[in-house]
Amino acid sequence: MMAFARGEYPSAVTSLQASLPIAESNADHKGVALAWFWLALVAEYEGDEVGATTAFDRAYEIFQGIDDAFWTALTVSALGDAACRRGDLDRAEALCEKERAWLARSGTASSSGTRCRPGATWSSPATTGTQRR
């Protein structure tokens, strides 16, 4: 997603929103889930926690439904990060457990990078200007 990589978030949103009906009409479930995942990242970078969580939830449901272990793990990691930022550490911990289970299923040996660990801190890319990963 070049527009996202260049920080052109409005352009990224336009492209991603345009891709959704195309992917849906072609029954491209992974394409739909990826569009929701990237829309969630854009919302996260822009500081829209509610929008990010909503879009990550949609991506998670689809990735889980098509049994894509790797992308489900990444999405669960992002949801865990969001829960951590909200201070919902019980939910974050539960999501981190789900992440580990999905990573094991995907054959990935280590965490995808969730920052929800004891003593971890997180600052929003929207407020710090830093990238998420």
Digit-by-digit pLDDT tens for the chain (133 residues) are 788 888 888 899 999 999 999 999 999 999 999 999 999 999 999 999 999 999 999 999 999 999 999 999 999 999 999 999 889 999 998 998 888 888 888 887 555 455 555 445 444 444 444 333 3
Find the helix packing angle between 49-65 and 29-45, rounded to 10°: 160
Tell me if the pTM is above 0.85: no
Cβ density class 14-37: b for 16+ within 10 Å, e for less: ebbeebeeebeeeeeeebbbbbbb
The answer to whether the beta carbons of residues 59 and 41 sit under 8 Å apart is: no
Whether 24 is in a domain gets the answer yes
Q: Structural domain tally of the chain?
A: 1
Q: What's the half-sphere exposure (Cβ side, CA atoms, 13 Å) at 82?
A: 22
Residue range of the domain that includes 35: 9-111
Whether 37 is in a domain gets the answer yes
